[in-house]
Amino acid sequence: MGYTDQRFDVNLSILFTELPLLERPAAAAAAGFTAVELWWPWIDTPTPARAELDALKTALEDAGTQLVGLNFYAGRLPGPDRGAVSVPGEESDRFRANIDVAADFAASVGCKALNALYGNRVEGVDPAVQDELALENLAIAARAADRVGATLLIETLNQPESPLYPLVSAPSAIEVVDKVNAATGLGNAKFLLDLYHLAMNDEDLSEVIEKYAAKTGHVQIADKPGRGAPGTGDLPLEDLLDQLRKAGYQGFVGLEYKAADAAASFDWLPAGARAAR
């Protein structure tokens, strides 16, 4: 048990960022990984040119890496934004323009998980109006994900680092998951369980796993404090992943931590356990 029986993937939007995007899949492969995930890579546009999408597809394939998670357009991330789903006006329009682009790209590379970040509260806008818009947009996204055989993910972030983001507890994200599934009848909305964010919110991680493992579609990890690699903080990540496995979770675990030198940061994981099985 422990780390060696998990299916890990490397988040290429937080690790290997010293390299150009198209070189990161090969870097992950050189470190022994076969699965990767990404935030939406084109911060400035929800609808990049076909050539850019094709280039990323080729980079993934040439490296022998499988994309297992992709964010829909989420504004400036990393940066001040936390998604576009609930943000009225231009950002919501951008999200909608991105839905089929992201879903079709995911389909083209066999990616089965699409994450829709909810978006920050906007000053002067009624939260109920934002929530109504979010549900509308998430239902459209869930249908697009379903069309390509994918899961729609809803993520909890943490209050200290994302003070304007409304989903800062596991129950708040689960409530949205349930609402989307009720609205579409598809059942393909799931919880993105990020152990770092939940720990930063001082949630009882074992209790969250026990309650919500069945509704979890993807898991991400980083240690706390510091958001570094496992072993740099005090979270019992190995035990928590064991608990998830015992609770029936068999999906991927995204490595979404910060490291000055990504290649050197994987010492906690034996080389033979890095390829996703």
Catalytic machinery residues: 155, 256
Type and span of the H or E element at 146 = helix 127-147
User: Residue 116's Cα: distance from chain center in Å?
Assistant: 8
Q: Which two tokens stand for residue 48?
A: 């990049």
Spatial contact of 115 and 218, defined as CB atoms under 8 Å apart: yes
Spatial contact of 121 and 127, defined as CB atoms under 8 Å apart: yes
Cα separation values, 129 from 108, 148, 169, 179, 208, Å: 35, 29, 21, 15, 29
Task: Count CA within 13 A, CB hemisphere, residue 204.
Answer: 5
Q: 């879903």: which residue's tokens?
A: 103
